[in-house]
Chains A and B, each alone.
Chain A
């Protein structure tokens, strides 16, 4: 993907988002939405200026990367997916069990270290969490179906 295409995608996206936010700001009572309207208006102006600036870029300028998009988005997609799965796990099977699954699982996905360092890191982290957050600060962690 050429840089101009990428920048154009960004400029169009933020222009649409800014416009949508501006339109939404008009759905609230005027006395409590003057400031948001002003801010959304600013966002629209800046995003349109970015769009104009991008349109004036010559095609192919600053060709920053090559390769397929999936190759670039693979790690971010995995990071967000496993973290969302972790949070869902926290709600349904409890903090400690889902943390063990998340740490060991994601460390295995992202690296090839042996099981021992992964287990030590996981245990160390959970001991600190239990000692500081649960025992000392009295924070109640979600328990879910399991512990």
Chain B
């Protein structure tokens, strides 16, 4: 405890250095821009600036990288809310209610809520990182292949709640998403499947490309053909933004649960912020007094998604810093950043380099506050996009989708893949098939297949042995119980709706 307190004091003291504050500001501006542009992810943003930090002091370099991580996870919400394209996969659930809020003329309110929710989730998750890192890191180590597979199944069980309009079509779309995610090489045997000879698909269908295609092209078609008859009146960011941000605290239980979900999902290596936002969104819908408003512009949907995905930031750093096991791709790159500065992530990091580590953690607190003014300032001008005529905005959105798809691997083939997914998205919209279960399947499919294959290989391919192993693991039993509960609630809701 004494070490912790002196570390915190050291960390706070380090923030008095104006250069560190300048790095946080620079990282925040860069992160907000990167996150808001579809196709550019948090991982890419952090990875690009890791070499830049080489000549800096460790405190400055890590403050810069941490600020990019926090702000880019948040700012994907800006494009999700304004143009219905999630800036990063972490914001895929924000569009479900964020864009409908824009259609209702509440874009300013949606952005204000997304900003305060992201800051809150991120801020609390850094507290978890500061005070609960060692016990929570041990919890992450309890996850084996079978638990990961069951975790993926738990995620899939959310489909029932995402398919309110048509359960069967939602289930079919979910299965299609799972199928699309397993295109490419088998995780263990290396056999190439369903790629149609396209080399770019050997490592799987990139989820960012799928998200861009699925949401951008159908929306452009809707706005150009006039079938999107919403008002889209501009609700400027700036007028009453503080009171709109404070509206967050009307939903105390919601933000508490979404934060806990984000932290827990974050500390599980490999799970990621998109899974956290789906689980938190589903939880918010189930516990809401007005679940029928979800998908039509419910502020609760935006809050749940944005709180949880930013809470993943602190959660993912817990195993990364204490065990050297990254919780997701961004924290893996951050570990690289730590190593460049001669730090070795692991149990001794907090003892041997406490000054640098606590300075980094304290800078994350500041980063979670810094993106509030920066994000709102950028959104204030970005919001003008809504006023742009569809005939001008439509081609620009297509141009952005094309550039975003190309930028990932500098491949023209991936632009064509994005267009193919865009066609699927258009047809799904045309035939009233919900797209969200497909996205969920895409996020979880490869994890489910890979972990199932590994779980099977551990029990020599025996189904009874795998079931026995699950029955003996308390963690597996808890996840199975949660999955059954989630499925039962979904089916019960559909049954009650029919009655």
Interface residues of A (CB under 8 A from B): 6-7, 10, 14, 18, 21, 24-25, 28-29, 31-33, 35-36, 39-40, 42-43, 46-47, 49-50, 53, 72, 74-76, 79-80, 83-84, 86-87, 90-91, 99, 102-103, 106-107, 110-113, 117-118, 121, 125, 129, 132-133, 137, 139-142
Contacts and interface: CB of A to CB of B under 8 A. Distances in A.
A111 B168 contact: no
Interface of B: 33, 37, 40, 48, 168-169, 171-172, 175-176, 178-179, 182, 186, 188-189, 191, 193-194, 217, 220-221, 224-225, 388-392, 394-396, 398-400, 402-403, 406-407, 410, 412, 415-416, 419, 422-423, 426, 431, 445, 448-449, 452-453
B194 A75 contact: no
A87 B412 contact: yes
A40 B172 CA distance: 10
Contacts of B178: 39
A10 B428 CA distance: 10
Which has the most chain B C-beta neighbours within 10 Å: A7, A39, A133, A141? Answer: A39
A107 B399 contact: no
A10 B429 CA distance: 12
Contact of A103 (B176, B188, B399): B399
A107 B415 contact: no
Nearest to A110: B391
Contact of B169 (A50, A103, A111, A117): A50
Contacts, number: 137
Contacts of A99: 399
24 contacts: A6-B431, A7-B431, A18-B172, A31-B189, A35-B448, A36-B193, A39-B178, A42-B175, A43-B172, A50-B172, A75-B224, A79-B221, A79-B224, A80-B419, A90-B412, A102-B399, A106-B395, A107-B395, A111-B391, A113-B391, A121-B392, A133-B403, A133-B407, A137-B407
A34 to B, nearest CB: 9
Given A50-B168, A110-B395, A133-B403, A36 B179 contact: yes
A102 B403 contact: no
A132 B33 contact: yes
Contacts of A125: 396, 399-400
B172 A14 contact: yes
Contacts of B402: 83, 86-87, 90
A139 B419 contact: no
A118 B48 CA distance: 33
Nearest to A27: B193
Contact of A29 (B189, B415, B448): B189
A102 B403 CA distance: 13
A28 B194 CA distance: 9
A36 to B, nearest CB: 6
Is the contact region of chain A dominated by helix, strand, or loop, or is it mixed?
helix
Contacts of A76: 221, 225, 426
Contacts of B389: 111, 113
Nearest to A3: B432
A142 B221 contact: no
Nearest to B400: A125
Nearest to A87: B415
B176 A107 contact: no
B326 to A, nearest CB: 23
Contacts of B403: 129, 133
Contacts of A102: 395, 399
A121 B416 contact: no
B179 A21 contact: yes
Which has the most chain B C-beta neighbours within 10 Å: A10, A21, A79? Answer: A79
A56 B152 CA distance: 35
A39 B179 contact: yes
Contacts of B452: 35
Nearest to A138: B48
Contact of A139 (B171, B191, B407): B407
Contacts of A91: 412
B182 A36 contact: yes
B181 to A, nearest CB: 9
